[in-house]
Structure 1
Amino acid sequence: VAQHRANVRLWWTRSSLKEHTAGLSNANIPLFFPKLECIDNANQSHLHRLEAVVAAKCVRPGASLRSIGAADVRGLCGGWLYFRQRGGSPAGATFCKEGTCRMGCTSSAEERAALARSKQIEKNLKEDGIQAAKDIKLLLLGAGESGKSTIVKQMKIIHESGFTPEDHKQYRPVVYSNTIQSLVAILRSMPNLGISYGNNEREIDGKMVFDVIQRMEDTEPFSEELLAAMKRLWTDSGVQECFGRSNEYQLNDSAKYFLDDLDRLGAKDYQPTEQDILRTRVKTTGIVEVHFSFKNLNFKLFDVGGQRSERKKWIHCFEDVTAIIFCVAMSEYDQVLHEDETTNRMQESLKLFDSICNNKWFTDTSIILFLNKKDLFEDKIRKSPLTICFPEYAGAQEYGEAAAYIQAQFEAKNKSTTKEIYCHMTCATDTHNIQFVFDAVTDVIIANNLRNCGLY
């Protein structure tokens, strides 16, 4: 739009309007408009009106606006601009009450009709801009297990009708599987860490759990025998020691949440609660799209988790998004990737954020940074030093200072002097926290979207 507006200010260098409008079509309008310029500051309002039409036709071809033809251009130019004729001066030109130029131009029915059409174009442009400002497209990005899918679930809870009874029923086997798989991950890591059971009798219980996995029955309700074995294992001192070193292997964040509540999960009439659903972990594959309304706006939220390896092939498809919500798991500063057990997870997130924040497709896109899992981070920072990820860190091992340092590391990746990073500390499993944060950032999104549409 800026380029076309600059072009409008070039002098009209040819001898007559007719010469340039003859045979004019939609295809060559972009070649026509660069010949125009506002000559007198008194006509800035006319220039702005013409700029709006230029922007609508040449920059926003998808807008639902009337086509601009030769007659429209004659009307626009005759009514809104002075023309510099060869060897003539624009200083002596004046406008008629009807809005036509007296420099050799005469008012005609065709020109008046063109002016009427141009006014309709302005109206349509404004209406189209207002509607565009109401359509908010959000792209949810971040490394694996950073909480993106949980944010999507929260939008369903906060802005839709929540989860249906059928949804609760469908998440039941997911809860069973997450619980058993978490316990198995701990048991499998014990030999690697040189940890033994506190009670050797737990070997039998462990075998029972492994047999369930082998038979692929981890999505089934717990039998009484299995439930008892799982409870004994979870309270074993060796298992607890291994759980305390979970940053040294791969373990779901929800492991403790579910294993601490085995009696409830093992009840015959068990149905997952809303919090249970939020805590479940299912790897996202493909692109998940969620629609919801908030503050009289229409939101479309895209979760593209699981597509990172092919990002270069699809990232340009989202160049028109209103904003990007980038999720970072703060608690993963001392953990390594699933697929590469030598790469620190937070360092990987920093690289990913750098590539997104400075991507050519998102030059004018607002970036909202969610430093997520703040509850887990606050608990972990007292026991595990931040220097594991940032050796140069010399601050205190406490939440406030450490969190501020992490935020500064991400903000430093922003190479733009005009783009602002909107950062929030979040706990994706806390509905009230996410509701508060999303309400706060929506106002920023609205303002930026209106500004981009030229309405703010």
Structure 2
Amino acid sequence: MVIGCCTLNNISEDAKTRSDANKQIEKLIEKEKKNFKSTHRLLLLGAGESGKSTIVKQMRILHIDGFSEREKKEKIDAIRKNLRDAICVSFLKLPYVCQSISGAMGSLRPPVELELTENKRLRDYMLETASKPDFDYPLEFFTYCSKLWKDGGIQETFERSNEYQLIDCAKYFLDKALEVGAPNYIPSEQDILRCRVLTSGIFETKFSVDKVNFHMFDVGGQREERRKWIQCFNDVTAIIFVAACSSYNMVLREDPSQNRVKESLELLASIWNNRWLRNISVILFLNKQDLLTEKVLAGKSKIEVYFPHYATYQAPADTLAEYRHENSEVVRARFFFRDEFLKVTSNNNGGRHYCYPHLTCAVDTENIRRVFNDCRDIIQRMHLRQCGDDVLLFDIIVRRLTCTFDISIGFFKLPREAA
């Protein structure tokens, strides 16, 4: 009889323990549901140097408080480093291959000579003195930058920057070298937007628009950074994929054999066709439209050299009519790249996701304000669909609580036991 009572007590205690555990799990799931429903989570993806971090900076300017005086001053060193990287520092340590304008002159085929022989002393200073790790940016450095930048040979080398690796902001900061070097220099918002700093890791930015909460995740786009992307996939509302259309004539820093736009196309394909992302729609930012326009109008780097089928491409007639006040060749180039990326997303492969393209210029605050306002309705619809689909919502919550992930470069996979 005593044994029977002990057995019943043990069963009762086990049942109570299981019941308590179930209640805790249910509470946790309800809490996660509430948190999920109240926040839109946006994941910024794209190849390196596509403009993802600049989009995040724009969210700070538009929807937070911008940058404080202290934060602006903290950016001075990074801006001056951008200027130095542009004019004098060559960084050839793999996987990053970066050359300055001065450093590239002799390596181009055919090589470029300085227009004024008296500027050789300034170029030597850049390559020998200013390239030292402990360089402290004396005032003469900025004076020399300004003088060298006006040299015809330096300008010619800059015009051939697709033949080597040069940061996009080179011209912007070289044009204002004397201002950047002034003792009382305080960066403007545009200076901060233009400043290039390599993103490594995952950065979260939180902001609200009309009482709606957004969490935006920015991750590095270089190949070795992509294994970190999967950590952000569990509960994302939408993916914002950023592609630099102006880089059609450039190669990757980490792989000089790969065209940058073709890398972006392959990367979007790997995301779009991934089985774990078939219910996540993509907002496509076709970025750096300002630089694309400059290249097309300059006429020196023909798109058909890198994408032969561009030679026979015709923009939709309604598009040409809508943009009739703009240069027709620029419009044709814009929509060629739009259509190239939309081809990648033309097959849903059984998924319930869509691609929404937008032409963007990440350094143009008004453009990003307008585009993001357009995107908010799309994001809201995606979020409501996720929250209204009990099966999908439960799957998201369970994956959020229990799944771990691994990733191989550019392609995504779950551990074997979860697959």
1:158 corresponds to which letter in structure 2?
L
Which of 108, 114, 120 lines up with 1:197 in the alignment? 114
SS of the aligned residue for 1:252 comes to coil
Structure 1: which amino acid aligns with 2:127?
Answer: F
Does 2:124 correspond to 1:207?
A: yes
Relative to structure 1, the CA distance from residue 364 to residue 268 in structure 2 (aligned partners, 3 Å threshold; closer, same or farther) is: same
* Matches of 2:196 and 2:190, distance apart in 1: 12
Cα pair distance change 1:282/1:313, threshold 3 Å: closer
Distance across 2 between alignment mates of 1:438 and 1:229: 41
Measured against aligned partners, the alpha-carbon deviations of 1:129-181 in whole angstroms (never above 9, x if no partner) come to 67633311111000000001101111111110110111111101111111121
Q: 1:400-411 counterparts in 2 under 5 A?
A: 400-411=331-342
Q: Which residue of 2 aligns with 1:431?
A: 365
In the TM superposition, what whole-angstrom CA distance separates every residue of 1:45-77 from its partner, at most 9, and x where no partner exists? xxxxxxxxxxxx9x9884227xxxxxxxxxxxx
Residues 395, 402 of structure 1: 8 Å contact kept:
no
- 1:448: how far off? 1.5
Structure 2 unpaired stretches of 5+: 1-13, 89-99, 315-327, 391-419
* Correspondent of 1:152 among 47, 56, 70: 56
In the TM superposition, 1:39-438 aligns within 5 A as 62-64=28-30, 132-184=36-88, 185-193=100-108, 194-218=111-135, 220-223=136-139, 225-306=140-221, 308-309=223-224, 311-312=226-227, 315=230, 317-382=232-297, 383=299, 384-393=301-310, 394-395=312-313, 398-414=329-345, 415-416=347-348, 418-438=352-372
1:278 is paired with a residue whose SS is helix
Cα distance in 1, alignment partners of residues 252 and 127 from structure 2: 25
- What secondary structure does 1:412 align onto? helix
* TM-score scaled by length of structure 1: 0.70
Q: Aligned runs of 1:430-449 on 2, under 5 Å?
A: 430-449=364-383
Tell me: CA distance 1:311–1:337, structure 2 relative to 1, closer, same or farther (3 Å): closer
Query: What code does the residue aligned with 1:299 have?
Result: F
**C-alpha spacing 1:313/1:241, structure 2 compared with 1 (3 Å):** closer
1:173-216 Cα shifts (integer Å, max 9, x gaps): 11111112101200111111210000112111011122343332
- The worse-fitting range, judged by mean Cα deviation, of 396-405 and 421-430 is 396-405
Which residue identity is paired with 1:208?
Answer: Y
Deviation of residue 310 (structure 1)? 5.5
In 2, the alpha carbon distance for the partners of 1:446 and 1:62 equals: 24
> How far apart in 2 are the matches of 1:337 and 1:315?
22
- Are the equivalent residues in 1 in contact too, given 2:36–2:235 (CA < 8 A)? no
Checking the alignment, whether the CA contact within 8 Å between 1:143 and 1:349 is kept in structure 2 is: yes
Between the aligned partners of 1:241 and 1:407, the Cα distance in structure 2 is 31
1:290-343 deviations in Å (ceiling 9; x for gaps): 111112211111111156336356516513200000000010000011111121
Letter aligned with residue 358 of structure 1: N
C-alpha distance 443-173 of structure 1, shift in aligned 2 (>3 A): same
1:133·1:446 contact (CA, 8 Å) conserved in 2? no
Kindly name which structure, 1 or 2, has the bigger radius of gyration based on alpha carbons. 1
Q: Compute the TM-score of the two structures, normalised by the length of structure 2.
A: 0.76
DSSP-derived class of the 1:380 partner: helix
Deviation per residue, 1:98-122 (Å, 9 max, x gap): xxxxxxxxxxxxxxxxxxxxxxxxx
Instruction: Give the secondary structure class of the aligned counterpart of 1:272.
Output: coil
Q: 1:346 to 1:420 in 2, by over 3 A?
A: same
Deviates more, 1:236-245 or 1:414-423: 414-423
Which one of the candidate residues 372, 386, 394 is aligned to 1:452?
386
2: distance between equivalents of 1:191 and 1:315? Answer: 42
Determine the C-alpha separation between the residues in 2 that align with 1:272 and 1:313: 32
Any unmatched runs of 5+ in structure 1?
1-22, 29-56, 66-127
Q: Is the 8 A contact 1:373 1:427 kept in 2?
A: yes
Q: Distance in 2 between matches of 1:314 and 1:146?
A: 16
C-alpha contact 1:173 1:221 (8 A) present in aligned 2: no
Q: Please give the secondary structure, in 1, of the residue aligned with 2:309.
A: coil
- Aligned equivalent of 1:114: none
Q: Does the 8 Å contact 2:281/2:382 carry over to 1? A: yes
